[in-house]
Amino acid sequence: MDGNAVAGRILLVEDDAQIADYIARGLDEAGYAVDRADNGRDGLFLATDSQFDVVVLDRMLPGMDGLALLKALRAAEVETPVIMLSALGSTDDRIAGLTAGADDYLGKPFSFGELLARVQALMRRGKGTGQKAQETALRCGDLEMDRLTRLVRRGVRKIALQPREFRLLEYMMLHQTEVVTRTMLLEAVWDYHFDPGTNVIDVHISRLRRKIDDGEAQPLLHTVRGAGYRLAAD
């Protein structure tokens, strides 16, 4: 990144020094400025006293746990997006975190690539791209989707999609230019909160790619090796 410009400012609240170092180094390399706290009370003080784009919050913390911190933050009307990290990955644990006010919930262990993708998604939402969730017409290059009539076109060519393919493309268009991970697709498109151990995503991505990209000079659906997929007109 050129000059002193940064991609955003992140508050990392994590008491495991090794995990915190790993996350902070990765975020720094991605261009983010990172402030750190290793306990809940310091994390709450920083989160309410300073302006951050995203808070990455561990659930199990000394002094004040992540859920208590999050509830206090929302009670203080601080609306900074929060990604909660936790080794407690059951559905009930996720529900508790999201109900307390988390915007996202990532179970440990996790890949840094997935965490970064989720941080970027929240950053974009905060800058207004979340408004796309309310839009009825989506566009990526010459690919168009009407969410009311469920019509999809690439240029003048109509594209017939099965219901699951439509949901997959809709999600990709809502998150276009972002790297979308397999976990994100499993949860958003298939409503799975676990990996079924099948190639269901690969099969559907392959079908969707054939329908939207075959015969076109510019491919839109890209595979990001080791990370996921990306829909972009570049």
Q: Compute the residue count for the chain.
A: 234
Here the CATH number for the domain that contains residue 103 is 3.40.50.2300
For the question of whether the overall pTM of this predicted structure is more than 0.85, the answer is no
Name the amino acid, one letter, at 172: M
Q: Is residue 2 situated within a structural domain?
A: no
* Angstrom distance (rounded) from CA 201 to CA 78: 37
Q: What is the DSSP string of 92-137?
A: HHHHHHHHHT-SEEEESS--HHHHHHHHHHHHHHHTTGGGGGG-SE
Of 105, 127, 149, the position where a domain reaches its end is: 127
Check whether 184 has a pLDDT greater than 60. Answer: yes
Q: Is residue 1 situated within a structural domain?
A: no
Instruction: List, in order, residues 6 or more apart from 208 with CB less than 8 Å away.
Output: 161, 165, 168, 169, 221
Do 91 and 173 belong together in one domain?
Answer: no
* Angstrom distance (rounded) from CA 27 to CA 201: 28
The pLDDT assigned to 1 comes to 43
The pLDDT assigned to 130 comes to 45
* Angstrom distance (rounded) from CA 56 to CA 85: 7
Of 106, 127, 148, the position where a domain reaches its end is: 127
Tell me how many domains the chain contains.
2
CA dihedral 20→23→26→32, nearest 10 degrees, is -90
Q: What is the pLDDT of residues 103-152, one digit of tens each?
A: 888 888 888 888 998 898 888 765 544 445 556 889 999 999 998 888 99
Of 64, 92, 127, the position where a domain reaches its end is: 127
The pLDDT assigned to 127 comes to 53
Do 73 and 17 belong together in one domain?
Answer: yes
